[in-house]
Structure 1
Amino acid sequence: MLDSTAIVSVREQIARQLRADIINGVLTEKTKLKEQELAARFNVSRGPVRDVLLQLTKEGLLISKNNCGVIVNSAPKAELQPLMVNLRVKIESHAIKMTINELTEEDFSQLDKILATMIKAFEEENYSLVTETDMAFHRYIVHKAGGDDLVNLWQPVIYRMRMNYKRISTPKECFEEHNQLLTYLKNKELKLALASLKDNVK
């Protein structure tokens, strides 16, 4: 049962769970999602579920077809993956260039907290949360650079890339990659930050 103290938080809880199910392959491509069944699963009315399905459709994880309803989108074809990596690197490189001299101690504190949550998630073997914190780290920088407009360009790319994500990384490697990037940002080392980003985004 979800915490119903606030409608917004309920929607976000549903969205996070469905994203995780799709990204981790629990909900496979072409699976049909029905409002009534999801409402029963999350013990909510159909309104929040409808909003979440619309949101995830905009993010590219779901597709809506006439006479078919809402279904899980397919993972990108292999030949599209290099293009999506390139698009993501371009957006995040732009974000780093825009923010490297603007990030404050409060920003660094928030990014450190995200990485601390990532480590805890690894320790608890909560890989859905690992994925969420990984994306939250990058989203923070993108949002700092261009607000919702830039995030809305970036988000569908990263979510589609993450569908059935096959890259293998140990907890130590994953943390160290992000921590190294954060260190370069703290030290305002632009070239090294951009190189670190390219190493991280694969």
Structure 2
Amino acid sequence: MAGSRPTKILSVKDQIAEQLRSDIISGDLAPNTKLNEKELAERFGLSRGPIRDVILQLTKEGLLISKNNVGASVNSVLDTSMQKLMINLRRNIEVYAIEQLHGSLTEKDFAELDKILDDLQGAFENEDYTQVTKVDISFHRYIIYKAGGDELVNIWYPFVMRMRLNYKRITSGDACVNEHRLIVEALRSGEVSKATKAVKANIR
């Protein structure tokens, strides 16, 4: 079961960043919403220093935008042409990752990917679409990290997070999970071309 995995201990700043990501992904913090450091500090019971650190982190991820003398706000929705560009850039990175793996994933890796897909199925069953998004991202991040470590993740991550600000593709739970299972099956069988095709079909 996915729940048998050890719980990752997050720092207070990481917990706040994760909560704000959830608020943005869910739409509770809508695009262009201005963030107030003082209000966030009061909400989380912290000084403004750690809040600034979190804002900087989320700005690097592409979820927030910061301007001098204006402060930070939730990034705006991409227009159609920019969204297409983001999709193409993300696809290129993920295809590159697939090609770099060279059959290096172990049975332990495949077991972890299967567990992530169990979590994805569970999130759909619970109709928790914020969690669906976060688990979906964690699936792709796992593959990216295995292919190129933190360096490749840091290139890829802002693209995937920026796309989530206006993610409109609605699919059923079964269809979404199956799209990801096709990627895993192709990787397990060492079929690079099949894996890249499955990745491209999933990112749209």
TM-score by length of 1: 0.92
Q: Does 1:26 align with 2:41?
A: no
1:15 to 17, 23, 28: 17
Name 1:141's counterpart in structure 2. 143
Is 1:62–1:72's contact at 8 Å kept on the other side of the alignment? yes
Name 1:3's counterpart in structure 2. none
Is 1:24–1:163's contact at 8 Å kept on the other side of the alignment? no
1:96 to 90, 95, 98: 98
Structure 1 portions without partners, runs of 5+: 1-5
Is 2:62–2:161's contact at 8 Å kept on the other side of the alignment? yes
Structure 2 portions without partners, runs of 5+: 1-7
**Correspondence list, 1:168-187, <5 A:** 168-187=170-189
Is 2:78–2:166's contact at 8 Å kept on the other side of the alignment? no
Q: Give deviations 1:35-80, integer Å, cap 9, x for gaps.
A: 2211222233333322211100001111111111111110111111
Is 2:31–2:165's contact at 8 Å kept on the other side of the alignment? no
SS of residue matched to 1:167: coil
Name 2:119's counterpart in structure 1. 117
Q: Does 1:45 align with 2:47?
A: yes
1:161 to 157, 160, 163: 163
Is 1:118–1:133's contact at 8 Å kept on the other side of the alignment? yes
Take 2:108 and 2:47, find their aligned partners in 1: how far apart are those partners? Answer: 38
Percent identity of equivalent pairs = 54
In structure 1, give the amino acid aligned to 2:123. A
CA RMSD of aligned residues (A): 1.6
SS of residue matched to 2:104: coil
SS of residue matched to 2:11: helix
CA positional deviation for 1:153? 0.8
Structure 1's 177 and 9: CA in aligned 2 closer, same or farther, altered over 3 A?
same
SS of residue matched to 1:22: helix
TM-score by length of 2: 0.91
